Each structure stands twice: as structure tokens, then as C-alpha cells.
């Protein structure tokens, strides 16, 4: 037996040693055969992971330095049960600080899991107390959160920052990259003891808005009262500084609290001042008159014969009172808000010059304001499939076209600013983290009308208001303005009852400091802008001049003459 | 080395073989080789476990201490096996008893154990005891005894092959049902080798091998996981980029210096340095058990791998020498069986890691973390030591003198004898 065994053992040994040789060959050849680059890549992607370091987001202030948006720290608090040696002591301390029942904590500590989350959004005070105790196995992770100290104030302008740390709507959305700073994505190693990438981020810049919080607050409260008083569903107030294009206030209701954006109806996030089209109605006659004067088809003291009906390409144009008013001056036309008159003007101007004129006012286009979510208007022109000759007539009094409230006030602002169209904007100053400050300069978009036309029109608008003893008049201040009552398009025509009442005015007329747009949607106290939006304008401006420290005309006149 | 200077060694010139019982009357080289393997294993087990041991238990040595405890138990087993006369295992009742206990343990495991880690039930007491490991040794003992007692009748096909196949089938079947195909395969291979060594004729051997391959193929394609691995392997043979994740991780370990240098090729002669592996931090699965050879490659390079392979070659060589010098057939078959078992297991492990054969989990003997395995294999070493104490006293009477002589210089004890000038080829 031994003989066979020896022989066969030798044979097996030979086989084994050859197999071992093959394995050694394989081990060596492996080094030369493989695609080293591929496996290097595979290994690297496994060894490292991306860490996004988010620098502190820039803060947002109003023009006077009032803090509107800032960063708060919350803490995520959790435990790694296996790392806790003094379970009772730890549970007692945590229970005391966090106000959690002791049983819950003990249960968490008995968990076999590596990490047990106790609270996701603990307030800063709680988190810091626990951090100071430096307890073994207790993990406190700071989580930054955007905080808006004034809640709903200015929320449509500011927007909000969502869970993904990206800003949405308004300033937060438009300036997201600037506010966010440089988000650095680092490669971090999963290998213990190995150094990881650096943390070279740059924090975000702070922004100062053109908004004056006091005017904004006044606008919001005035609007809220107006909605109640006139039974309107919603509304907008915009205050523009005509010489600079700065928006001093932009308020719309209903609004939302950006601190609670998660529980807010998403339709409220959109800013109606830049995001909702409406037919401007008679306010648009300001533009039509401006173009008529600019084109020279009429003079300020021209007259025309107002009839009860004007037929244009088969469409009947009638006045609001369905009456003909006879021979009327241009100022009468504005004062009585005569549609027949406006249509007469636009027909005389002619389609080419009329629509070219609207372009000069940049109506229907985005104003380019630095807010996220601005939309264009909708103005049909000759050559468009849907444009009819009658549109030239109806457009003249703001029907058959749709623009945003901001486009309307920007155009009127040009009239208030000697015919120069200013870029409306929201940010007045930017401070970079390195302390570098850049101020925004007023920016002329173009000339809409001549200075002469502008001053003529201002005088006419002012006279017209006084002539009608409008509710918009403000005691002690000469203002110019125009009411508007626009019908609301519904499928197949216009809503028979509901209207949008608006008023756009500016003053003081000798040196306009503000342009104010008041817009009330579907008021129930009256359908007319002259009875709803106009008195709100008066009410608002009488307080606005106080906030803006604009002395009454008489005082300014005596100051001027005194010099 | 005091062993070789013992004056009690049998001398060729003297027919009298009277080994006096001394402490070093066994194959000392074997023990040195095993000591080297175990020490190397401990080093690598600590290197691969300190990190997750700390994360998991708060102590970097917790897992290492487990292995030390297993080593302690294994050493006790080794000493017992060494000091006892292995021939009591030849007794049919003892061998059968061991076999029955093994079968009962495996059967009970199938019925009772709900521990389904990695989809298989391989252990008692939440992984503390794996009877599959002990079963390998039990099968070797039983078949060595069985074959030794029947060697004259082995040539008779019906008498030899069929009962052998039935007994083997029972044990292997129970292990396959766990399912643990790699252990089953090792037992089959070892048993087949023993059958061959015991003197089965070539026809029987080929028939057994053919039958085993057929059964193995049928069984492994019955298990989804085995079939998936087979398919994955065929893809990986053509392109290592197609290999399973586990194999790709092993490749990254084996070629660590090159892959770390950003893909510029650089042969892995000496590795990245002891303790410097990256793959062990959760990337290469089972880094401390089945995949430990790849970590050795990563940290110590081809050099480290070759040292380990050399130690295994030396171990198997010593086991074969002990088998050849054994006093009687049972001891010879037992020693040879242990030798080929360790050889197959080590080769299977390395072949898997280098993507030569489809993936399967096999520990690397002496080195991988794992109590049952270490204790069993150290017990087997004790048996080898016990066999080596009782060498054939009549070696020189072996008729084939030339063959015997060529063997002698290779054995520790014969070395001194060889110097007497008797070596001639």
C-alpha cells in the first residue's frame, strides 16, 4: 500500500505544485493585464465622496438697513448608542435640556442602530447647551435655516429659500447666486486618517433693497384696509421713485409668510405686481395722450367732437356713460375719461406710430426688474394674426391688451420723469464679503416722449383731476394721475359685473418724487376706479408724503421763492 | 532546532528503531510553518479589523481578541491531538461516532438554525460555531479509516465505489442544503483524492470524478446564486471590468500602487505597506475573512502573497512527508487528507480572489478570521504532529530504496542522516 500511496502522493504533489505555479503566474500577470486607469477611477470614486459646503447666505436689508432676511441656526440632535457609556446620566441631561421624556431617551439608547435621530430642528439655544456639555455619543449637527424677522412684510419681493438651499421668487430667486456665495463641492475621503479636501468657500453678498420698509408697511396696511373697505378680493400697490427707477414699495395681497413657505399655497408665492397680466383700462389713456401730443396730432388745447358712438371696423366704441359729450378739450377727455376721444386720438396717430410709441414706453415687454418671475405683457400688433383694425381703437383706452402693473407704473413713471424711461429696480447696494460695496446707479432705458410733452401731459392730468374734483386729490399737494376701470376678460367677452379698479398718479407735479399705482381687483363697493382706487390713492399719498418728508406745495413754494 | 540534534533519532545504519518519548519527537518544521502562518494571520486580522471593530464595538482590539481566544482554543486542541495516539481514530466505532455526530450537527443546523446571514445557514449560536468546518476534518478522519480498512477490496467496483459514494453523498448533501457549495466542493475533492491515494483504480477514479462533476454541475445550477456567479464569471473571464463588484475590489487591492498613482502602471512588488490598505475600510467585502489574501496583496504586494503561498507549499509538503513516513495506512491517508484539504482550500481562496474561478466564499486556512475554522485546522495540525511521532520504524526495508533515499534529504530528521553520504541519484 505504501508503494502505491507514495507514488500517488508524488503525483498529487506534482499537480498541486503546478496549480500553485498557475496561481503565481496569475498573480503576476494580473498586474500587467488589467486596465489600471479604469480600476484607478473606480477606486477613486469609491474612496471619495462629495461634500457640499454651504457658506452663510447673504443677508437682505431694506434701503435704511432694516434686516429683512437672515440666517438662523437650528440643530439636528441624535445619538450613537454604542458610544454612550453613561447612559443614565446622558439621558437625564438630554431630557432636561430637550424636554423629552426620559423613557423615550432610554428607549433610543437601547437601539441597536448606529445613529438615532432625536430632533431634527432643535432651536439654537438647545443645540448650544448640548454642545457645551460635550457628551460622548451625542451628535449635534448645526443646520442653517433662512429666517425672515418681519414675516409677511415684503414677502413677494423677497421670495424664500427652500430646503435645497436655493432661493425662489423675488430677490432670493433673482440674486440666488450672489446671495449664496460660492458653494464649494469638496472631495472627502472615506479612508480613516487620510486628509480631506480644504474648505475654501466664499460667503454670499449682502443686498440692500430700494424698498423703504416704512413705505412698504404703509402700502401693505393701506391695501389691507382698502380690500376690506371696498370688498376687493386682492390688490397691489407699487411706489416708484420716477427719477431713479427705485421701487420704494411693492405690496400685494393676499400674501404669505416666507418662514412658513412649506405650508403655504404655492399660488401665493407669485408676485402679482410682475407676474399677473391685466387690462389696464383708462389709465392707458395717459400713454395714448402722450403719443398724440408727441406725434403732434393734437395740441394740449386742441378740441374734438365727442359723439355717443364711434364705429371702427365694425366695432362700436362708446363712452363709459354711453353719452356723447360734444366739443371737448384734451384735458376734458382725460378728466371725463372718454373712450371715444381716446379712440379718435389713436386713429389719428395711426397704427404704425401708435404701436411704435408703445414700444418706446416698453409696454408689453419685461421691464427687466431684478426680481424672479417677471412676465411679459400681451399686445397684439398689426401683422399679428389676431390683430384687427378695431384693436387700434380699443387699445387706446387700455382694452384688448394685457400688461403687468409694473409695466404700467414704469410707463407712467417716464411721463413723471420728463419723458425718460428709467429701469425699475429693487437693489440699491451690494456688499461683498470682502467689504467691497457697489451701489446701483439709475439707468435710463430710453426716451419715451419729449420733456415738453411730458410736462404738458402732467399739467393736463393734474388739471383734469382738479376739474373733476377727484377723490384722488391730496390736500396741499398738486398731483397728476388717472383712474382706470378695466373689465375682466372672460371666455366670450367681458365679465358683466366685476372690474379691476386702478389709479396711477404721481406728484408733486413740479418735481415728482413718487409714482403710485393702486390696483384693486373686483371691488364690490363700486365698480369704478374713481370711487375705489382714487380715494385709496389719496389716503395713501397723504401719509406717503409724511414718510418721504415732502413738504406741501405751499411750503416748498415759499422756500423756493425765499431763496 | 534542538529536535534535529536528538540522539534518539533512528539511524539508517541501525535496524533498531526505538524512539524514546521526548517533547520534540514530531515534525518541528511543520509546527514552525504553521506558527508562521498563524502569526501572519493574526497580523493581518488585526490590520483588517481594528477600524470597524472600533466603530462597531468601541474597541479596536475586540475582534482581534476574539481571534486570539480562538487561537487559544485551537492550541489546546492541537496539544490534545498531538499528545494522544491518533490511532484511536482508526477504530471503526470512534470514526463512525465522529461521523454520526457530524451528520447530526449538520442535520440539526438545517432544521433549527435561523441564522441566514449571506443567505446561508452555516452556524450555531449566532455564528459562533460552524459545523461545516469541523465536518471537513470529520470526513477526512472517517474516510481515511474507512479506506484504510478496506484497501484490499477497493478495486472491486461495486464494493468500493458505491458505499463510498453514498456516505460522501450524505454528508455533502447536508452541506449543499445549507447551502455551502464551496465547503461541499472541498469535501468532495478531498475525498476523491483520498480515494485515489488509497489505491482505487483509474477507472474508478475517472468514474467518480465524472459523477462528481455531473452532480456538482446539476446542483450548482439549481441554486440561483451559484448560477449568477457562474454567469458573472464567464463575463469576467473576458473582461475584468465585467467582473463582480467583489472581484473588482480584489483586483483594486492587488494592483494598489498602480491604481493609487492615478492609473499609471506600476507593478505591485512590495505593496503599499503594512496597515496601509484602503480596500479594507469597507470597500472589499469580507476583508478579514475570505478576502484577506487580497489585503495581503495590497499591503505587502506580490512579495507578501508569494510568502504566504510558499508557506502553504511547505505545509503541504510536510504533510505529504508525514504521510509517506507514516507507520500504517490510516495515518498515511489521514496526513495526506489533511494536506490536500488545506491545499485545496488555500488554492480555492486564492483562485477566487484572482478571478480564476467563479466567486465562492472560502477562508484562507490559518490566516482568515474565524474561530471554528482556526480551531479545526489547528486540531488537524495536532493530528499531523501525532502521526509524525509514530513514523514507520522499518523505513529502510522499503523495497524501492532509490525512491526512499530521494525522499530522505527532504525530511527534517533525515537531513542529518543524509550527510552520511548516502544520497545518490
A337 a catalytic residue: no
Listed residue (A362, A386, A394) closest to A376, CA to CA: A362
Residues B422 and B12 sit within 8 Å (Cβ to Cβ): yes
Q: Is A231 left (phi over 0), alpha (psi -120 to 50) or beta?
A: left
Residue of B nearest to A20 (CA): B347
Give me the residues paired with residue A62 across strands: none
CB atoms under 10 Å from CB of A107, counted, come to 12
Does A29 contact B at CB distance below 8 Å?
A: no
CA distance linking residue A416 with residue A18, whole number of Å: 100
Pair B124, B104: CB distance under 8 Å: no
Output the CA–CA distances (angstroms, integers) from residue B205 to A17, A42, B165, B169, B270, in the order listed: 21, 46, 12, 16, 42
Mutate to test the interface with B, among A3, A4, A5, A7 (most CBs of B within 10 A): A5
Mind telling me how many Å the CA of A77 is from chain B's nearest CA? 20
First to last CA, chain B: 28
Question: Distance between CA atoms of A277 and B367, rounded to whole angstroms?
Answer: 78
- Which residues, listed in sequence order, are joined to residue B252 by a DSSP beta bridge? none
Rounded to an integer, the average pLDDT of A354-383 is 89
What pLDDT is attached to residue A78?
Answer: 86
Q: Which uninterrupted H or E stretch holds A351?
A: helix A351-360
| pLDDT surpasses 60 at B413 | no
Closest Cα in chain B, distance from residue A22 (Å): 9
| Mean of pLDDT over chain B | 78
Chain B neighbors of A38, CB-CB under 8 A? 241, 263
Alpha-helical (H) ranges within A260-350 are 272-275, 285-295, 330-336, 339-349
Instruction: Kindly report the length of chain B.
Output: 425
Min CA distance, A139 vs chain B (Å)? 15
- Concatenate the DSSP letters of all residues of B345-392 into one string: HHHHHHHHHTTSS-----PPTTTSS-HHHHHHHHHHHHHHHHHHHTB-
Residue among A498, A400, A359, A370 nearest A60 (CA) = A370
Separation CA A166–CA A162 (nearest Å)? 6
Specify the pLDDT at position B414. 38
Q: What is the pLDDT of residue A202?
A: 67
End-to-end CA distance of chain A: 136
Alpha-carbon span A303 to A280, nearest angstrom: 25
Kindly state the average pLDDT of the residues A426-439. 89
Distances, alpha carbon A123 to alpha carbons A53, A77, A95, A556, in Å: 21, 10, 15, 53
Confidence of residue B256 (pLDDT cuts 50, 70, 90): confident
pLDDT, mean of residues A316-336: 87
- Is 80 exceeded by the pLDDT of residue B226? no
User: Does B424 have pLDDT greater than 60?
Assistant: no
What is the per-residue pLDDT for A487?
84
Question: Is residue A14 within 8 angstroms of chain B, CB to CB?
Answer: no
**What pLDDT is recorded for position A560?**
64
Closest C-alpha to B170, from B205, B199, B138: B138
pLDDT of residue B336: 94
Cβ within 8 Å, pair B255-A82: no
Strand segments, DSSP code E, in A293-334 are 303-306, 310-312, 315-317, 326-329
Q: Give yes or no for a cis peptide into A254 (omega within 30° of 0).
A: yes
**pLDDT band (50, 70, 90) for residue B263:** low
How far is A403 from A419, CA to CA, in rounded Å? 20
**Which ranges of B150-244 would DSSP assign to H, the alpha helix?**
157-176, 181-197, 202-222, 224-238
Report the alpha-carbon distance of residue B324 to residue A257 in Å, rounded. 90
The residues that bridge with A482 in the sheet, in sequence order, are: A504
Q: Which among A547, A467, A557 has a CA at the least distance from the CA of A511?
A: A557
CA pair distance B278, B255, nearest whole angstrom? 12
If you average pLDDT over residues B139-149, what whole number do you get? 87
Are the beta carbons of B306 and A40 separated by less than 8 Å?
Answer: no
Give residue-wise pLDDT tens across range A194-220. 665 555 556 788 999 999 999 999 999
Beta bridge partners of A71: A146
In this predicted structure, what is the pLDDT of residue A200?
55
CA distance B335 to B319: 6
For A295-316, what is the mean pLDDT? 86
CA distance A521 to A279: 11
φ and ψ at residue A52, rounded to 5 degrees: -95, 115
pLDDT, averaged across chain A: 86
Separation CA B138–CA B380 (nearest Å): 10
| Residues in chain B closer than 8 A to A34 (CB atoms) | 240, 251, 255
- CA distance linking residue B212 with residue B300, whole number of Å: 38
Q: What is the pLDDT of residues A494-546, one digit of tens each?
A: 888 888 899 999 989 888 999 999 999 988 888 888 888 899 999 999 999 99
Other CB atoms within a 10 A radius of the CB of residue A192 amount to 12
Asked if pLDDT for residue B240 goes beyond 70, the answer is yes
Side-chain-facing half-sphere of A26: CA atoms under 13 Å: 18
* DSSP label at residue B354: T
Residue A324 exposure: Cα atoms within 13 Å on the Cβ side: 9
Beta bridge partners of A499: A487
Q: How many residues does chain A have?
A: 563
The residue with cell 430646503 is A163
Edge to edge, what strands does the sheet with A246-253 contain? A246-253, A234-241, A514-521, A493-507, A480-490
Average pLDDT for residues B84-99, to the nearest whole number? 86
Q: Give, as one character, the DSSP assignment of residue B86.
A: G
Q: Taking a C-beta distance cutoff of 8 angstroms, is the pair B256, B277 a contact?
A: yes
The pLDDT of residue B117 is: 46
- Residue in B252, B281, B398 closest to A39 by CB: B252
What residues of chain A, 61 to 120, have a C-beta less than 8 Å from chain B? Answer: 82-83
Domains, chain A, ranges and CATH?
Answer: 56-84+92-98+107-209 (3.90.1310.10), 213-561 (3.40.710.10)
φ, ψ for residue B127 (rounded to 5)? 90, 0
Give the nearest partner residue to B347 out of A4, A20, A46, using CB atoms: A20
pTM above 0.90, yes or no: no
Q: Which residue has the cell 403687468?
A: A404
Summarised one tens digit per residue, pLDDT across range A45-54 is 888 777 766 7
Instruction: Single out the catalytic residue among A155, A213, A252, A282.
Output: A282
What is the bridge-based pairing of β-strands A303-306 and A206-209?
Answer: unpaired
Instruction: Find which of B204, B301, B338, B354 to mutate to test the A interface (most A CBs within 10 Å of its CB).
Output: B354
The 10 Å Cβ neighbour count of residue B183 is 25
A522: helix, strand or coil: coil
Mean pLDDT of B171-187: 83
Determine if the peptide bond prior to A271 is cis (ω within 30°): no
- Residue B408 is predicted with a pLDDT of 40
- Lowest pLDDT segment from A33-37, A506-510, B326-330: A33-37
Cβ–Cβ contact A12 with B under 8 A? yes
Amino acid at each position: 500500500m505504501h508503494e502505491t500511496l507514495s507514488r500517488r502522493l508524488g503525483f498529487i504533489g506534482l499537480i498541486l505544485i503546478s496549480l500553485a505555479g498557475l496561481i503565481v503566474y496569475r498573480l503576476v500577470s494580473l498586474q500587467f493585464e488589467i486596465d489600471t486607469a479604469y480600476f484607478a477611477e473606480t477606486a477613486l470614486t469609491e474612496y471619495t465622496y462629495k461634500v457640499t459646503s454651504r457658506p452663510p447666505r447673504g443677508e437682505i436689508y431694506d434701503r435704511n438697513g432694516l434686516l429683512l432676511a437672515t440666517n438662523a441656526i437650528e440643530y439636528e440632535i441624535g445619538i450613537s448608542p454604542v458610544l454612550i457609556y453613561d447612559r443614565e446620566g446622558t439621558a437625564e441631561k438630554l431630557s432636561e435640556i430637550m424636554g423629552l421624556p426620559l423613557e423615550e431617551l432610554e428607549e433610543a439608547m437601547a437601539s441597536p442602530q448606529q445613529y438615532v435621530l432625536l430632533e431634527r430642528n432643535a432651536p439654537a439655544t438647545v443645540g448650544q447647551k448640548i454642545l457645551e456639555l460635550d457628551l460622548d455619543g451625542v451628535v449635534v449637527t448645526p443646520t442653517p435655516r433662512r429666517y425672515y424677522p418681519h414675516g409677511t412684510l415684503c414677502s413677494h419681493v423677497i421670495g424664500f429659500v427652500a430646503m435645497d438651499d436655493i432661493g425662489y421668487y423675488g430677490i432670493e430667486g433673482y440674486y440666488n447666486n450672489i446671495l449664496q456665495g460660492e458653494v464649494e463641492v469638496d472631495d472627502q475621503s472615506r479612508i480613516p486618517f487620510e486628509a480631506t479636501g480644504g474648505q475654501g468657500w466664499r460667503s454670499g453678498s449682502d443686498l440692500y433693497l430700494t424698498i423703504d420698509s416704512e413705505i412698504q408697511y404703509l402700502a401693505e396696511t393701506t391695501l389691507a384696509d382698502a380690500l376690506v373697505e371696498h370688498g376687493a378680493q386682492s390688490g397691489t400697490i407699487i411706489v416708484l421713485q420716477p427719477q431713479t427707477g427705485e421701487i420704494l414699495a411693492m405690496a400685494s395681497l393676499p400674501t404669505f409668510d416666507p418662514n412658513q413657505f412649506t405650508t403655504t399655497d404655492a399660488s401665493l408665492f407669485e408676485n402679482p405686481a410682475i407676474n399677473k397680466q391685466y387690462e389696464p383700462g383708462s389709465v392707458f389713456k395717459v400713454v395714448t395722450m402722450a403719443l398724440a401730443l408727441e406725434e403732434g396730432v393734437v395740441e394740449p388745447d386742441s378740441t374734438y367732437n365727442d359723439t355717443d358712438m364711434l364705429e371702427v371696423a365694425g366695432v362700436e366704441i362708446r363712452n363709459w356713460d354711453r353719452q356723447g359729450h360734444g366739443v371737448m378739450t384734451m384735458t376734458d377727455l382725460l378728466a371725463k375719461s372718454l373712450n371715444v376721444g381716446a379712440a379718435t386720438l389713436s386713429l389719428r396717430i395711426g397704427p404704425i406710430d401708435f404701436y411704435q410709441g408703445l414700444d418706446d414706453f416698453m409696454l408689453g415687454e419685461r421691464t427687466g426688474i431684478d426680481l424672479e418671475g417677471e412676465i411679459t405683457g400681451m399686445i397684439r400688433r398689426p401683422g399679428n394674426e389676431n390683430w384687427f383694425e378695431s384693436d387700434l381703437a380699443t387699445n387706446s383706452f387700455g382694452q384688448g391688451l394685457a400688461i403687468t402693473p409694473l409695466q404700467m407704473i414704469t410707463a407712467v413713471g417716464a411721463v413723471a420723469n420728463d419723458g425718460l424711461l428709467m429701469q425699475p429696480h429693487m437693489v440699491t447696494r451690494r456688499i461683498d464679503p470682502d467689504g467691497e460695496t457697489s451701489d446701483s446707479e439709475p439707468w435710463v432705458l430710453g426716451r419715451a416722449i419729449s420733456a415738453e410733452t411730458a410736462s404738458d401731459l402732467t399739467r393736463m392730468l393734474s388739471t383734469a383731476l382738479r376739474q373733476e374734483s377727484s377723490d384722488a386729490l391730496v390736500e396741499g399737494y398738486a398731483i397728476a394721475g388717472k383712474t382706470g376701470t378695466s373689465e375682466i376678460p372672460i371666455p366670450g367677452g367681458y365679465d358683466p359685473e366685476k372690474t379691476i379698479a386702478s389709479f396711477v398718479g404721481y406728484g408733486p407735479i413740479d418735481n415728482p418724487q413718487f409714482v403710485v399705482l393702486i390696483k384693486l381687483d373686483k371691488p364690490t363697493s363700486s365698480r369704478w376706479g374713481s370711487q375705489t382706487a382714487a380715494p385709496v390713492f389719496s389716503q395713501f399719498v397723504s401719509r406717503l408724503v409724511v414718510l418721504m418728508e415732502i413738504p406741501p406745495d405751499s411750503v416748498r413754494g415759499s422756500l423756493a421763492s425765499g431763496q | 532546532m534542538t529536535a534535529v540534534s536528538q540522539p534518539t533519532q533512528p539511524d539508517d545504519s541501525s535496524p533498531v528503531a526505538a524512539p524514546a518519548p521526548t517533547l520534540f519527537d514530531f515534525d518541528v518544521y511543520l509546527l514552525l510553518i504553521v506558527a508562521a502562518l498563524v502569526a501572519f494571520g493574526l497580523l493581518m486580522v488585526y490590520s483588517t479589523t481594528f477600524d470597524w471593530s472600533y466603530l462597531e464595538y468601541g474597541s479596536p482590539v475586540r475582534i482581534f481578541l476574539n481571534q486570539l481566544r480562538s487561537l487559544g482554543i485551537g492550541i489546546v486542541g492541537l496539544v490534545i491531538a498531538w499528545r494522544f495516539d491518533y490511532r484511536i481514530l482508526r477504530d471503526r466505532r470512534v470514526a463512525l461516532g465522529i461521523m454520526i455526530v457530524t451528520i447530526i450537527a449538520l442535520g440539526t443546523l438545517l432544521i433549527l438554525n435561523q441564522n441566514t446571514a449571506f443567505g446561508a445557514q452555516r452556524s450555531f449560536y449566532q455564528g459562533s460555531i460552524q459545523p461545516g468546518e469541523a465536518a471537513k476534518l470529520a470526513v477526512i478522519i472517517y474516510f481515511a479509516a474507512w479506506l484504510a480498512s478496506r484497501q484490499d477490496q477497493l478495486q472491486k467496483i461495486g464494493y468500493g465505489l458505491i458505499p463510498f459514494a453514498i456516505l460522501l453523498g450524505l454528508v455533502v448533501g447536508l452541506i449543499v442544503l445549507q447551502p455551502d457549495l464551496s465547503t461541499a466542493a472541498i469535501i468532495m475533492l478531498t475525498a476523491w483524492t483520498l480515494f485515489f491515494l488509497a489505491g482505487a483504480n483509474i477507472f474508478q477514479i475517472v468514474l467518480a470524478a465524472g459523477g462528481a462533476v455531473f452532480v456538482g454541475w446539476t446542483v450548482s445550477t439549481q441554486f440561483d446564486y451559484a448560477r449568477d456567479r457562474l454567469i458573472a464569471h464567464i463575463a469576467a473571464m473576458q473582461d475584468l471590468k465585467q467582473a463582480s463588484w467583489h472581484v473588482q475590489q480584489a483586483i483594486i487591492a492587488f494592483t494598489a500602487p498602480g491604481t493609487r498613482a492615478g492609473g499609471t502602471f506600476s507593478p505591485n512588488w512590495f505593496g503599499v505597506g503594512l496597515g496601509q490598505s484602503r480596500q479594507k475600510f469597507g470597500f472589499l467585502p469580507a476583508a478579514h475573512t475570505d478576502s484577506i489574501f487580497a489585503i495581503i496583496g495590497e499591503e505587502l504586494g506580490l512579495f507578501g502573497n508569494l510568502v504566504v503561498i510558499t508557506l502553504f507549499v511547505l505545509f503541504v509538503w510536510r504533510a505529504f512527508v508525514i504521510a509517506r513516513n507514516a507507520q500504517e495506512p490510516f495515518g498515511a491517508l489521514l496526513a495526506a487528507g489533511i494536506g490536500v484539504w488545506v491545499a485545496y482550500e488555500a488554492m480555492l481562496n486564492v483562485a477566487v480572489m484572482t478571478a480564476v474561478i467563479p466567486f465562492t466564499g472560502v477562508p484562507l486556512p490559518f490566516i482568515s478570521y474565524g474561530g471554528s475554522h482556526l480551531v479545526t485546522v489547528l486540531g488537524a495540525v495536532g493530528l499531523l504532529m501525532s502521526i509524525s511521532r509514530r513514523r514507520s520504524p522499518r523505513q529502510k526495508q522499503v523495497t524501492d530504496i532509490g525512491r526512499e533515499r530521494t525522499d530522505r534529504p527532504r525530511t527534517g530528521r533525515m537531513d542529518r542522516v543524509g550527510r552520511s553520504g548516502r544520497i545518490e541519484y
